[in-house]
Structure 1
Amino acid sequence: MKRTLLIGALIAFNLMLVFSQRREPVLRTDVPLDSIRLSDPFILADRQTATYYMTGTGGMLWKSKDLEKWTGPFRVIQHDPESWMGPRPMVWAAELHAYNGKYYNFATFTNRDVKIDTVKGNVIERRASHVLVSDKPGGPYIPMANSIYLPAHMPTLDGTFWVDEDGKPYMIYCHEWLQNWNGTMEKIELKPDLSGPVGEGKILFRASDSPWSKERDEEGNIIPNKVTDGPFLFRTQTGRLGMLWTSWVFDVYTQGVAYSESGTLDGPWIHEKEPITPPNYGHGMLFRTFDGKLLMAVHSHSVDENGRYIRIPRLFEVDDSGDKIIVGN
């Protein structure tokens, strides 16, 4: 029953995103961070413009000079309507990354008109992580040569960026649990200019590897949760490679962290036993402010009296001076 309710809630939330993403944005100024409704917030601190740029699900952009008052939203994504995405795709979990003099928008696109699979009665839509490029952090972000980064038969999401110890750029992404029923975290090498993939993806770990994420099966037994969500890579000041990622503890949206024993993407990835943030916060990322403070951006996850999801960006201070990050207030 809980699984059915969760899938139903996710479908309702996705439909809400479809309608909200089709409306033209109304520009607002001096908006406090806690007055913005945004899932999967990602903040790029751009020193060249002395500006913080925030994006996330929906693909819109917000700008701020102080992290307190924001201006937006701006429409900055220009996808190709003739591509597999179709004319009006949903946009999830957009991220902004500066690399080699360019700015890249890693985002997940969903074409709800294309069905690629049906698993356990659930229709799987065409969904994949993708990369767009711009000369400026404020966009516009446009397609590159490759129209497909990840296999068309796989629903993938939440792609993020990392340059590993071999000096090569990679996309780290999730193969969605709705198809494989045990979500995976995977990597794929990218071309030097990030314009397309090199080779095939490789599994880094599975949702069931986590000691903290859990759910109940049809008989009420406690089992590992199936969801992998929101990867973000970082190194501590001691050089240790870690990954933030999000799943569920029963019906509580929860973020954990794993660390690579080898110091590379290939791991093995050892998961901390306990979540790293308070309950009902997740899909986090780390960035350093212009005055050197390390912050974690996450969104809250709650339901209002009308049953609607409420997701609001929240910033936590983080200490990365040791081998493990410590999340403060």
Structure 2
Amino acid sequence: MRRTLFISLFATICLLAVSAQRNIRIRKNIPLDSIRLSDPAILADQKTKMYYMTGTGGMMWRSSDLKLWEGPFRVTEFEANSWMGPRPMIWAAELHQTGDGWYYYFATFTNQEVKIDTVRGNVIERRASQVLRADNPMGPYRTFGDATYLPANRPTLDGTYWKDSDGKPYMIFCGEWLQNWNGTMEKIELKSDLSGTIGEPKVLFRASDSPWSREKNDKGEITWNKVTDGPYLFRTATGRLGMVWTSWVYDVYTQGVAYSESGTLDGPWIQEPNPITPPGFGHSMLFQRFDGQWMMSVHHHSKDDRGRTVRIPHLFNVDLSGDKLIIKP
């Protein structure tokens, strides 16, 4: 019940953010910890020598030094006849480059006017990960290619990009726990130009595989948490393939990591026994600063002056020089 109420509140916040976009006031020289943003993802663009930060809500911030930021900018445009509708909710947007000159916007879109299922009393809205595209980092990002990327009868979220050792591009995404009651991490092959998907999704691992996440079930028994959230892929300097992802330890947002024994997306994926960031941090991604230092972008659950939970972007230094991802103090 608590998580259902949390999702309803989060949906309301996202709707308010969409409404606020109509009267955007661009601000300058804003410190990172003064920004309120869920699921922050940062692209370090070598062409413009700027950092571009996206996330939930569909807006963008930019910075030359990762300290002071300008924004928020509206960077997406939608067609009214797409499955998303003219003003979808936008979660966990990421920017990716493949070397072909385009900027790709991976995000989760929700059309609240369309209901696809009801499970255990929860009405599930049409929600899916899809890719938009633009010819510059500031957009506008628009749909292209296939009308849909993932099955219309499933709620999916947090799609991210990875080119595997077979040279093929993939979307890695979550099958939402609201429908399957045991969240999944899955892959699906993308077309070479990212304009659509090929074949069917394949499950990489499930929420129940986590050794560190926890919650109480309907009987009050301690069990694994059913949420899978925020996948992001990386390789260490030794070539080891890893994935950071997020779940919960009771009511605390928490992040773990898994490593592929085969070095490919097919795994098997072995979960590290303990979380990798302090409590309350999660939904991360990795990027390199222009000086080469690896960074992790996350958000932190904190309380404002009125006692309300807010989500604040935060950066950790990361060491990938060995066989594991290490968060540096």
Q: Smaller-chain TM-score range?
A: over 0.9
Which segment is superposed worse, 79-88 or 123-132?
79-88
> Within the alignment, does 1:15 sit opposite 2:8 as a pair?
no
Distance in 1, Cα, partners of 2:48 & 2:219 = 56
Given residue 172 of structure 2, which amino acid in structure 1 is its aligned partner?
Answer: I
1:180-195 equivalence runs, <5 A: 180-195=180-195
1:97-116 equivalence runs, <5 A: 97-99=96-98, 100-116=100-116
Give the conservation status (yes or no) of the 8 Å contact 2:78–2:87: no
Give the conservation status (yes or no) of the 8 Å contact 1:207–1:225: yes
Distance in 1, Cα, partners of 2:302 & 2:117 = 30
SS in 2 for 1:72: strand
1:214-253 equivalence runs, <5 A: 214-253=214-253
Match of 1:133 in 2: 133
Match of 2:27 in 1: 28
Give the conservation status (yes or no) of the 8 Å contact 1:175–1:185: yes
Match of 1:79 in 2: 78
SS in 2 for 1:23: helix
Gapped regions of structure 1 (runs ≥ 5): none
TM-score normalised by length of structure 1: 0.97
Given residue 34 of structure 1, which amino acid in structure 2 is its aligned partner?
Answer: D
- State the Cα distance separating 1:305 from its structure 2 match: 6.4
1:32-111 equivalence runs, <5 A: 32-99=31-98, 100-111=100-111
Distance in 2, Cα, partners of 1:264 & 1:179 = 28
Query: Which digits, 9 at most, give the CA deviation of each residue in 1:177-220, with x for residues without a partner?
Result: 00000000000000000000011100000000010011111222
Gapped regions of structure 2 (runs ≥ 5): none
Distance in 2, Cα, partners of 1:220 & 1:235 = 39
- State the Cα distance separating 1:91 from its structure 2 match: 0.3
Give the conservation status (yes or no) of the 8 Å contact 2:229–2:283: yes
Distance in 2, Cα, partners of 1:187 & 1:164 = 11
Query: Which contiguous aligned blocks of 4+ residues in structure 1 show a shift greater than 2 angstroms?
Result: 302-309
TM-score normalised by length of structure 2: 0.97
- State the Cα distance separating 1:14 from its structure 2 match: 1.3
Give the conservation status (yes or no) of the 8 Å contact 1:13–1:309: no
- State the Cα distance separating 1:304 from its structure 2 match: 4.3
Given residue 284 of structure 1, which amino acid in structure 2 is its aligned partner?
Answer: S
Matched length:
326
- State the Cα distance separating 1:140 from its structure 2 match: 1.2
The CA RMSD over aligned residues, in Å, is 1.0
Query: Which digits, 9 at most, give the CA deviation of each residue in 1:226-257, with x for residues without a partner?
Result: 00000000001111000000000011100000
Distance in 2, Cα, partners of 1:305 & 1:6 = 23
- State the Cα distance separating 1:309 from its structure 2 match: 2.8
* Identity between Structure 1 and Structure 2 (%): 65
Which segment is superposed worse, 93-102 or 305-314?
305-314
Give the conservation status (yes or no) of the 8 Å contact 2:302–2:312: no
